[in-house]
Amino acid sequence: MADLDDIRDGDNFGLNTPADTTSFYLKGMNSMSWGIKNRMSRIFNRDSGRTVMLAFDHGFLMGPTSGLERIDLNIAPLAEEADCLMGCRGMIRTSIPADNTKPICLRTDSGTTILTEMNHNVLIAEEDAISMNASAMAAMLAIGDAATEASTIANFSRLVDLGNKYGIPVMGVTAVGKDMARDARYFGLASRVCAENGASIVKTYYTEGFENVVAACPVPVVIAGGKKLPELEALELAHNAIQCGAAGVDMGRNVFQSDKPLAMLRAVKEVVHNGAKPSEAIEIYHAG
Ligand code: R5P
């Protein structure tokens, strides 16, 4: 107990230093909780405001696809070079060393595979995401899919409730139905639905007119890489997205299916964080 005879009046109120009321460095985050902001700060570089997430959640849909046969051999060695690791709990627990210090964006929905009708997903227990020290939770929304749109949006809304409760950002993953036009109108709608439902991050796909997709989405947007492209084309994709205002990438196959995954990851980082032109960044890939 403090000595009541020794209560000293404070005299260091910093009157010449106003309280910092400047905005948080990521768009749409000012009204989020301290926990969400803190975790977003682990994922998004403070200087660039961007991130290079390494996605390796593909196996929960398609099994040991090319480049992901052994997460311990294919992905774990890349972890230090990524800004964030995005995967499923089983593979992270078994194959990523627990002394990993990179933030985890945990795939928090689970469901059907490519062998049946996809997108009938449910959420895993939030306690498990918390136990894995997740810096973000990701769930898919099947916008435009008559069979699963409502259930995946309901999943997502529930996940945002949980994220808000525990201070964990939620990333909306826009799944593209086979009948959907892959254009700015569709991705703009899908991204906006994620944000309207409380996403802190939206993951979608680059398309012509992407600046409108980003502008209409009030939280950071990252792009998936999509199918494997020649490395220069993948760097051009990332560059175009950044030019349109994307806050980074959540890239999988164009990294782990590259002949030189580590060098490719470094090249993508150069584009995303330092604004390198694809023709400059490809030299990093070649040198790696
Ligand atoms: C899709 O649902 C998965 O979340 C993938 O992580 C995503 O498509 C990114 O991987 P890729 O760059 O290979 O498209």
* Structural domains in the chain plus CATH codes: 33-287 (3.20.20.70)
Tell me the CA end-to-end span of the chain in Å, nearest whole number: 61
* 279/114 Cα distance (integer angstroms): 36
Comparing C-alpha atoms, which of 118, 253, 247 is closest to residue 195? 247
Q: Choosing from 37, 102, 203, 269, which is the catalytic residue?
A: 203
Can you give the pLDDT of all 288 residues of the chain as single tens digits?
Answer: 556 677 788 888 788 888 777 789 999 999 999 999 999 999 999 999 999 999 999 999 999 999 999 999 999 999 999 999 999 999 999 999 999 999 999 999 999 999 998 889 999 999 999 999 999 999 999 999 999 999 999 999 999 999 999 999 999 999 987 777 889 999 999 999 999 999 999 999 999 999 999 999 999 999 999 999 999 999 999 999 999 999 999 999 999 999 999 999 999 999 999 999 999 999 999 998
Say what the pTM is.
Answer: 0.94
Give me the DSSP letters along 11-46.
----TTS----PPPSSTT-TTS-HHHHHHHHHHS-T
Whether the CB-CB separation of 141 and 195 falls below 8 Å is answered with no
Residues in contact with 51: Cβ distance below 8 Å, sequence separation at least 6, in sequence order = 43, 44, 45, 83, 84, 220, 222, 247, 248, 249, 272
188 lines ligand 1 (CB under 6 A): no
Q: Residue with structure tokens 């299916």?
A: 257
> What is the pLDDT, as a whole number, of residue 43?
98
Comparing C-alpha atoms, which of 93, 135, 89 is closest to residue 108? 89
Whether the CB-CB separation of 89 and 128 falls below 8 Å is answered with yes
**How many whole angstroms from 167 Cα to the centroid of ligand 1?**
25
> What is the pLDDT, as a whole number, of residue 2?
59
203 is catalytic: yes
Residues in contact with 229: Cβ distance below 8 Å, sequence separation at least 6, in sequence order = 237, 254
57 lines ligand 1 (CB under 6 A): yes
* 150/152 Cα distance (integer angstroms): 6
* 144/180 Cα distance (integer angstroms): 7
> What is the pLDDT, as a whole number, of residue 19?
75
* 101/186 Cα distance (integer angstroms): 36
Comparing C-alpha atoms, which of 55, 22, 23 is closest to residue 201? 55
Mutate which of 68, 86, 137, 203 to test ligand 1's pocket (most atoms within 8 Å of Cβ)? 203
* 238/51 Cα distance (integer angstroms): 11
Whether the CB-CB separation of 55 and 87 falls below 8 Å is answered with yes
> What is the pLDDT, as a whole number, of residue 17?
86
**How many whole angstroms from 58 Cα to the centroid of ligand 1?**
6
Whether the CB-CB separation of 30 and 24 falls below 8 Å is answered with yes
Residues in contact with 34: Cβ distance below 8 Å, sequence separation at least 6, in sequence order = 167
Residue having the nearest C-alpha atom to atom 8 of ligand 1: 224
